[in-house]
Structure 1
Amino acid sequence: MRIGIAGWFGSDNLGDEILLHTLVSCVRSVDESASFVVFSPNPDRVAALHRVDAERMPTLRARGAVGRQGTAQRAIRDCDILFLGPGTVFQERSPNLPWPGTLPLFARIVGMARLARTPVAPVGVGVREGGTPAGRRLLRVIGAASVAIGVRDQRSGSYFGARAQVIGDVAYALPIPDTQPAAAVEEAAGSARPTFALSMRPLAPDTEAGLLLSIGGCLDRLQADGWTGDFLPMAFGQDAQGEDDRDIYRRAFGNVLGLAGNPLNDREGTTLAGALDGWLTALAGYRLVIGTRLHAAVMAVALGVPTVAIAYERKVHDAFVDLGLGRFVVGPDVDAETLHRTATAAAGSPAEFREAAGRVARQGRIAREFVTATLKGLG
């Protein structure tokens, strides 16, 4: 079986790479011999990280666009199915993306698949808020052309029509390693101080400035309470302007927090699969995570780590509400006192997060079942 996957992979965003890794794992649980071709902006990086074939997205404006279209068309024709996503692949606007965003590109990919008679299925996809009526109509067309539609949340599903199925974030299907409780990790390390991790991404200047003040005030309070912390970089921004979390670390936290590792640090041949369990085990060692990055937050919850999510976008808020953790999500306009109070409440509620980890596991089974059913339906 030959599987095509089209999405925003290869830009050194750990959340996106976890999504691709998990989808590949879901497919291989159905067919161990499946082969893959991934369409992305950075195919060389994708091939190195995931050990799959990769091709450039069939964009129209880049150098060599005509040849790229032909290569992509042939690669799509050789696939038994083309998955769109997972992730927030449908965007009309973002801080770094002008209108009409990605919709024409993905509509063209769907058209190429139909021409090649290759079935298409969005899987674990999200739609960024702020779309236009024209964009909503195009999403309906994409939904009508798909053999199955698996969406991350109900709001995204509403754009595609009644056949859309909410399967949650595909990362929920990631196998989680057995880990020690944070207290045991601290004891083994000889530390009596509880540890937290902070994940923060670059944001629009006005939003970022206020949030940095609030986070700084919260960290001062946590440290006064006896906590020690690390900064958790999730994205390095390869060919993606304004996406390198280390910029935030250097500007705001380099003197007060340590810098945690990331499986994408090693660019000399280590696959993501070979490094991911170590990162997850380290993440499980924290007693508290505070994060703007969606997958820093949801992976921590999957491990049962008390977590506060800062919802810079709707997807972060929706994920925590769906997991029954609505009281532990705050907006980017949160003040330092409220953030500290919420963080303290989360750290004092480990049972709620153990229950939420169970909900993540159950939702992950739904995502795996969607992939299984879609592949078995091809016959």
Structure 2
Amino acid sequence: MKIVISGFYGLGNTGDEAILEAIIYNLREQLENPEITVFSLSPDKTAKEHHVNSVYRGWRHDFKKKVGALKGADLLISGGGGLLQDTYPTRFLFGPLPYYLLIVFLAKLCGTKVMFFSQGIGPVHSKWGKILMKVFANMADFVTVRDQYSKDLLHRLGVTRPQTVVTSDIVFAYQPRKSTACIDSLPLENRDNLVAVSVRPWFEKVKQFEQMAQILDALIEHRGVTPVFVPMEGHHDAKASERVLAQMVHKDQCYVLGTDFSPNQYVNFIGECQLTIGMRLHALIFSTIMGVPHIGLSYDKKVESLLKRNHMWEFSAALQDIDVDEMITNAIGLMDHREKYSEIILNSAAELKQEALRNVELLKEKFLK
């Protein structure tokens, strides 16, 4: 089977690279010798890392190669991740939403079937974004989404032609391989009380950086933890981490991991921690996979949806509703009863993994003749 994968690949986002790795691994596990081509911003790197064919994803270069790949493919996988949203500016044919939908349109012009694969949908607020979704998303032949919110939003947007099934994020079917690269990179005297921290920029919102600083200072003072920032999207998250550190009293007791580690190295590091406090969805998914209790600071419905599915929402908060004292109490409670909550999380992870594997099972059922 010849498959083209389109997504936010080759741009250094750890979550999206984990998505790609999980898709490729599970396709190879369940299909017989699939021939895979990935549209990537760094095609040489993607081809080398994953042993796939890769074509530059942008419109300005290699258009004929993209058309050729789609014409020769049996299926375009669009996803996973949160591709179909207009949080970032959408202007006519510019922006994430038009890009991914026009790839779908191009695939259909080439006679290729399309599957939205383990996608998170939205938000879609703009009038133009809603029009694009209704016209082009309905061209998909089959859709799996990673949460119920995404399915409901598709229906509200008028995307009703393809069948839509709720599964889970394909990263729940990620297969970690043992690595100590991250933890070995830090000059730690004690590895027993680590707290993973994931922060990201989110438009004009900055209050959460001050609040995170207060939470971490309190945990250092009361529990002697060592916070370690995990920059899931390179320099963007590294800068956000520095904004937290700049407001901390005990910043000298914190560390920031390097930005060039792989998803596998980051997931192994998070597995060494007592607790994760984070904004990034895939930092929280990594925590779930590894059975690490976590507090999520939800900037988007996708984060809230995950935290409700893995039973961590009661300890978490929407970004605009953070209560510092409550978060400190929740963090201490999760660490005091870590074994109990780790078991709850691992049970959730097992269920979510089975749902993630359904993405490939449904692909086989719908498209493998």
For this structure pair, what is the TM-score category when the shorter chain's length is used for normalisation? 0.7 to 0.9
2:295 maps to which of 288, 304, 308: 308
1:250 maps to which of 235, 238, 242: 242
Q: Provide closer, same or farther for how the CA distance between residues 249 and 107 of structure 1 changes in structure 2, counting only shifts above 3 A.
A: closer
Partner Cα distance (1:168, 1:139) in 2: 21
Amino acid at match of 1:372: E
Range moving further from structure 2, 137-146 or 215-224: 137-146
- The residue number in structure 2 matching 1:9 is 9
- The residue number in structure 1 matching 2:109 is 115
- The residue number in structure 1 matching 2:133 is 139
Structure 1 position 221 matched with structure 2 position 218: yes
Amino acid at match of 1:364: K
> Sequence identity of aligned pairs in percent?
24
- The residue number in structure 2 matching 1:203 is 202
Range moving further from structure 2, 361-370 or 313-322: 361-370
Partner Cα distance (1:140, 1:348) in 2: 49
Superposition RMSD in Å: 2.6
Range moving further from structure 2, 85-94 or 245-254: 245-254
Partner Cα distance (1:223, 1:291) in 2: 17
Amino acid at match of 1:377: K
Report the CA distance between 1:376 and its aligned residue. Answer: 4.4
Partner Cα distance (1:149, 1:20) in 2: 17
Report the CA distance between 1:74 and its aligned residue. Answer: 0.9
Amino acid at match of 1:217: Q
Deviations 1:219-239 (A, max 9, x none): 1110111212211111115xx
Partner Cα distance (1:192, 1:317) in 2: 30
Range moving further from structure 2, 352-361 or 15-24: 352-361
Deviations 1:42-99 (A, max 9, x none): 323322432322112253xxxxx3x6332211111111111001101112232xx344
Aligned residues: 346
Conservation of the 8 A alpha-carbon contact between 1:214 and 1:339: no
Report the CA distance between 1:11 and its aligned residue. Answer: 1.0
- The residue number in structure 1 matching 2:149 is 155
* 3-state DSSP of counterpart to 2:277: strand
1:365 maps to which of 348, 354, 369: 354
Report the CA distance between 1:199 and its aligned residue. Answer: 0.9
* 3-state DSSP of counterpart to 2:83: strand
Structure 1 position 285 matched with structure 2 position 283: no
Conservation of the 8 A alpha-carbon contact between 1:40 and 1:57: yes
Q: Provide closer, same or farther for how the CA distance between residues 236 and 294 of structure 1 changes in structure 2, counting only shifts above 3 A.
A: same
Structure 1 position 260 matched with structure 2 position 257: yes
Partner Cα distance (2:335, 2:121) in 1: 32
Q: Provide closer, same or farther for how the CA distance between residues 193 and 175 of structure 1 changes in structure 2, counting only shifts above 3 A.
A: closer
Structure 1 unpaired stretches of 5+: 60-64, 180-188, 238-243, 266-271
* 3-state DSSP of counterpart to 1:164: strand
Partner Cα distance (2:121, 2:10) in 1: 20
TM-score, L = length of structure 1: 0.83
